[in-house]
A and B are shown apart, each in its own frame.
Chain A
Amino acid sequence: MSMIQAQSLNLSFGVGATLNQVLHDVDLTVEDGESFGLVGESGSGKTTVLRCLAGQYRHWSGALSIAGGALQHKLPKEHFRKVQMVFQDPYGSLHPRHTIDTALREPLTIHGMADRDDRINDILVKVGLNDSFRYRYPHQLSGGQRQRVAIARALILEPRVLLLDEPTSALDVSVQAEILNLLADLRQREKLTYLMVTHDLGVVSHLCDKVAVMQQGRIVEQLDCRALSQDQATHDYTRMLVQASRDFSADCAPAMSA
């Protein structure tokens, strides 16, 4: 039983003259414990796929399932305990007027979970923070810390699947490394399944096992990340992305690594 499955996923926005089909027959399968990357440029529809799975867009057609349960267009609360999302912008994804404690307590209250203080403390430690952060406001935190809180908020509901929307593209390089390490650690420890959207092939190679390349609402190629770096991509668009990524990174001489 695969953890995430999309079959013939189609989605359009607008009506009549303004009709814009954003996803065309997207087929995707992610196994339990796998880390799957979705790459593409702007307008490729990669974030839209994520938002359909998360439950934000509900007017899709096709079949979606998470942890074996098919997604209906009307989602029960339990759905949100199976899958959670981490957003791109650490500055926008936390409510500016709520303390970290409030932000973390809210999902627990919505789902009627007990031992709230303990859970909050635990999750803060898990993401590399501590309880001195509990009563701070987001504007008192750095970008990396905010993203850790966003990850904590996503994980506090104990989901099986984590949807990551360019989680590090708004962060500095040094902070990005910390967050990527954290995500890799968490996936192992909490036995999570990741579906990550990014435009950065370096990031996807680091964190993901498999990758699907999207262009204008379609998946043009799916392959292993290892195959990606070994130039085994067959589709032109994928090869172009790989080449562009290489052009900007005449790679590190052995002197640099480790």
Chain B
Amino acid sequence: MSSLKLNVEALNVRFVNGKKEMHAVRDVSFTLGREKLAIVGESGSGKSTVGRSLLKLHPGSTQITAKALQFGDVDLLSASEKAMQKIRGQRISMIMQDPKYSLNPVVKVGDQIAEAYLAHHKASRSEARERVMLMLEKVHIRDPKRVYNLYPHEVSGGMGQRIMIAMMVITSPEVIIADEPTSALDVSVRQQVLNVLEELVVEQQMGLIFVSHDLNLVRNYCDRVLVMYAGRVVESLAACDLQYAEHPYTRGLLAALPSMDNRRPRLPVLQRDPLWLTC
């Protein structure tokens, strides 16, 4: 079986609200194999929209069109809602930014992970519980029995995010979409969470789409980077080649980052060229 998991060609997403239409994603194309692909951009660039469109998480009025939106043997574009439900959480999972908001506050975290498992696998409760314990250990949570019975408000940000990862990976998906998974976390905790994610991705040979606004973070963590601006992909390159980026927007973004080791009296301000909106 080919290692190509996802093939997206000319993806367009339009949000329709009454008479108003917003073209959020314009002609985005990319492929995803067993690798870590980053989609970076600023707010309004459409990066989160791309991720959510793959799982068709937008309201019904949204228009998603593409030349190809192929996930293995499934055509996501024409897939029915029922087919999508089988894919979400099972074959393609999504990790969101803030565990405070993405975990159900009134259910124990262990039960939530078990629920994620039971939604896609027929198993007894105790079997599911066992699997949850194993998963919690895999995400380096040291006391899984105790943590199983905690509520989301009782766990720290880093642990909550690892629980979210456990919940999303317990079904052994083929692709994970991580939408700013470490943006709400402290710096010291970030590395831990990223390591956990990387271990799982490598071990289960998954494809990872890492959506972020942090160029510096993805250049070390991911294999390839897609830079988005105003709904378009303006540059696509290997993460290690980021310093050789050619598009003025990418170069401008990199230059505008304040750096501890490269102190400059003034930060170069990004000059937006209207031509970028048409490329």
Tell whether any CB of A sits under 8 Å from a CB of B in the complex: yes
Quick one: which of B219, B243, B260 contacts A255, CB cutoff 8 A?
A: B243
Q: How far is the CA of A252 from the CA of B244 in the complex (A)?
A: 10
- By a CB distance below 8 angstroms, the chain A residues around B243 are 252-253, 255-256
Number of A-B contacts defined by CB within 8 Å: 114
- By a CB distance below 8 angstroms, the chain B residues around A240 are 188
Q: How far is the CA of A143 from the CA of B43 in the complex (A)?
A: 10
Quick one: which of A143, A176, A202, A250 contacts B260, CB cutoff 8 A?
A: A202
Contact (Cβ within 8 A) B261 A229: yes
Tell me what chain A mostly uses at the interface: helix, strand, loop, or mixed: helix
Does A71 reach chain B (CB closer than 8 Å)? no
Stretch at the interface among B54-62, B94-102, B251-259: B251-259
Q: How far is the CA of A240 from the CA of B213 in the complex (A)?
A: 23
Contact (Cβ within 8 A) B264 A257: yes
Does A66 reach chain B (CB closer than 8 Å)? no
- By a CB distance below 8 angstroms, the chain A residues around B216 are 248-250
Q: How far is the CA of A181 from the CA of B256 in the complex (A)?
A: 10
Does A131 reach chain B (CB closer than 8 Å)? no
Residues facing B in A237-256 (CB within 8 A) are 240-242, 244-253, 255-256
Contact (Cβ within 8 A) A177 B258: yes
Does B267 reach chain A (CB closer than 8 Å)? yes
Kindly supply a per-residue 1/0 record for chain A positions 187-206, scoring 1 wherever the CB is within 8 Å of any chain B CB and 0 otherwise: 00000000000011111011
Quick one: which of A41, A252, A253 contacts B188, CB cutoff 8 A?
A: A41
A248 to B: closest C-beta gap in Å: 5
Q: How far is the CA of A115 from the CA of B96 in the complex (A)?
A: 50
Task: Please classify how large the interface on chain A is, using the bins under 10, 10 to 19, 20 to 34, 35 or more.
Answer: 35 or more
Does A28 reach chain B (CB closer than 8 Å)? no
Kindly supply a per-residue 1/0 record for chain B positions 232-274, scoring 1 wherever the CB is within 8 Å of any chain A CB and 0 otherwise: 0000000000011000000111111111111111111110000
Task: Please classify how large the interface on chain B is, using the bins under 10, 10 to 19, 20 to 34, 35 or more.
Answer: 35 or more
Quick one: which of A205, A242, A250 contacts B220, CB cutoff 8 A?
A: A250
Contact (Cβ within 8 A) B262 A251: yes
Does B217 reach chain A (CB closer than 8 Å)? yes
Q: Knowing A172-B42, A172-B213, A174-B252 are in contact, say whether A245-B260 is a contact too (CB < 8 A).
A: yes
Quick one: which of A199, A244, A247, A251 contacts B259, CB cutoff 8 A?
A: A251
Q: A176-B256, A206-B263, A252-B259 are in contact. List 17 more A-B contacts (CB 8 A).
A: A41-B186, A41-B187, A173-B253, A174-B253, A174-B270, A177-B256, A180-B267, A181-B269, A202-B257, A202-B258, A244-B191, A245-B260, A248-B187, A250-B219, A252-B254, A256-B251, A256-B255
Q: Top 9 nearest A-B pairs by Cβ distance?
A: A206-B258, A177-B256, A177-B267, A172-B42, A174-B270, A249-B216, A41-B186, A202-B258, A205-B260
Instruction: Name A's B-contacting residues (CB within 8 A).
Output: 41-42, 143, 172-174, 176-178, 180-181, 184, 199-203, 205-207, 225-226, 228-229, 240-242, 244-253, 255-258
Instruction: Name B's A-contacting residues (CB within 8 A).
Output: 42-43, 157, 186-188, 190-191, 213-217, 219-220, 243-244, 251-270
